[in-house]
Amino acid sequence: MAADALRLLNQADGLKAAAPADPAAGFLSPTPAATIADEDYARVLRSGIPLQGIQVRDDPVAPAALDPYFEGSFKRTHHVYIGEDLVTYDKGVYAMPGQAAYVGTFTYFGQPTQTDVAFVFPKGSFVVVGKKLTPDGKAETGIYIAEDAVAGFALRFVKATPEYLADFERHHARAADAYRRQQAEAAANGGFSFGQALALGLGAAVIGGADLPGLDKMQLGQAFVSDVMGGGDGTALMSSFMGAMQGATGGESLFSGGMDFQAPGLNGMLANLMQGNGAGAGGTVGAAGNSGSGGGGAAVPAPTPAPASPGVSASAGGAGPARSESYSFSCPSGASYSIPISYRQAACGEAMKNFARVYSCNLIGDFAAAGQRCQQACGNAQCAEK
């Protein structure tokens, strides 16, 4: 039996060798070498000045060449439960070679960690607001969360609904505040203020602060408000979302070539994403592969910060000239907003403005009509251009 089994297995190995290579195998692989040393992290902790580079995490079941890695900017974050600052991810890509990549803005939430041991491994959860890229060339905008992560080990991101994010944050904030009270500590200095975040509506802040094209954020924010608040009673949340969204614009943009990646092929994927699909929620990256680390310019500039009057810029896109502008308006309540939007067709742009105004001003009676207008002009009830 053993001899037959060996013969058949050798035969099967031959078939495996002759089979065409899995196209996914080259997706963001191999894992590049880490570029950040311990002293670099120590410097960030001392100075608070952000850092850029590559950190490799260990996946015990993957060969070293396929270990997951983060490339991008790092920032200092306070971990409530160990009472110390850590260096965590800010903007960039978390790549799982051959499987998926998450590009966007990362937020870290410390979780209860055993500290009365010789080696403390901080535990926490990561939230990414951005895009998930897959080897089949697809890109999906969304919220992704990796809970119960242990420092140094692989993260498992799972798609999360805005409603779940809000619930997660509420639980996290309550637990952290309770822990702080229990530890009789003063409010954290320099770290994230959870009380403040709760007052603002942290979900809106996390989404609004993400480095995403304007319409993607607009859609996520709108989904957040309607999921969390139900029938549209979301003026305060939407306002905080809009405020955070404006504050996040400017600087290096992940999706407009503002950051140059060493991750094999990523610059090309991001460039294709912008050229082919603009700010749509379900874009296509193009064929997975290694296009090198250089280049990767973007066709559409990042949404511009709110100017005093509408500013408009246009650039060549895949299906026609894409336009980005800041739309300023006032609500019947007297509140004023300025929202970055981008579109290709003028009719869709107008529908988008109407949609933004109706939802920002919480004009409940006009919600349905705004959605219908988006559907007619853009082919999508939330004004995502087809």
Partner 1 sequence: MNTRCRALLAGSALLCAVFVLGACQSMGEGMAESAARARAERYAAQGNPQFSDPQLQAVVKDFEARYAVIGVDADRLGLDQGRPCPVSKATAFTVMKGMSYEAYQKIQLDIAAKVPGYTGISDPDAVRVVSLSGFCGENGPQGPAVIVGTTRDISRYRGEGYSTVTVSDTVSRIEATWAEGQRRGEQTIISIIRSAQFKETGDGQLAENIQDWDYLNEIRDAPSANYTYLVPKADGTPRYTVSFGRNPTIGTYTTTVAEHLDTRLTYTRTWQGTELLQENRMKDGQLHGWMIIHPTVYDGTQIPGRRDCYQNGELVKALECPSS
Can you give the binding site for partner 1, defined by CB under 8 A? 1-6, 8-9, 11-13, 15-16, 19, 22, 62-63, 145, 147, 158-161, 163-164, 167-168
Judged by beta carbon, residue 228 or residue 270, the one nearer partner 1 is 228
Q: How far is the CB of 1 from partner 1 (least distance, A)?
A: 6
Q: How far is the CB of 298 from partner 1 (least distance, A)?
A: 29
Q: Which of 202, 170, 222, 256 is nearest to 358 (CA)?
A: 222
Judged by beta carbon, residue 24 or residue 151, the one nearer partner 1 is 24
Rounded alpha-carbon distances, angstroms, from residue 156 to 3, 26, 124:
41, 20, 12
CA 355 to CA 50: how far, in whole Å? 37
Judged by beta carbon, residue 2 or residue 184, the one nearer partner 1 is 2
Q: Which of 256, 288, 292, 253 is nearest to 269 (CA)?
A: 288
CA 382 to CA 219: how far, in whole Å? 7
Q: How far is the CB of 3 from partner 1 (least distance, A)?
A: 8
Judged by beta carbon, residue 17 or residue 118, the one nearer partner 1 is 17
Contact 366, 351 (CB under 8 A): no
Residue corresponding to tokens 């899995």: 22
What pairs with residue 316 in β-bridges?
Answer: 321
Q: How far is the CB of 163 from partner 1 (least distance, A)?
A: 5
Cβ-proximal residues to 113 (8 Å cutoff; 6+ apart), any chain: 79, 81, 82, 120, 121, 122, 123
Q: Which of 379, 333, 355 is nearest to 221 (CA)?
A: 355
Judged by beta carbon, residue 64 or residue 316, the one nearer partner 1 is 64
Q: How far is the CB of 125 from partner 1 (least distance, A)?
A: 10
Q: How far is the CB of 237 from partner 1 (least distance, A)?
A: 16
Q: How far is the CB of 236 from partner 1 (least distance, A)?
A: 20
Judged by beta carbon, residue 48 or residue 63, the one nearer partner 1 is 63
| Degrees, nearest 5: CA angle 237-240-244 | 135
Judged by beta carbon, residue 167 or residue 260, the one nearer partner 1 is 167
CA 20 to CA 237: how far, in whole Å? 51
CA 162 to CA 154: how far, in whole Å? 24
Other beta carbons less than 10 A from residue 153's beta carbon: 13
Judged by beta carbon, residue 22 or residue 233, the one nearer partner 1 is 22
Q: How far is the CB of 126 from partner 1 (least distance, A)?
A: 13
Helix (H/G/I), strand (E/B), else coil: 108:
strand
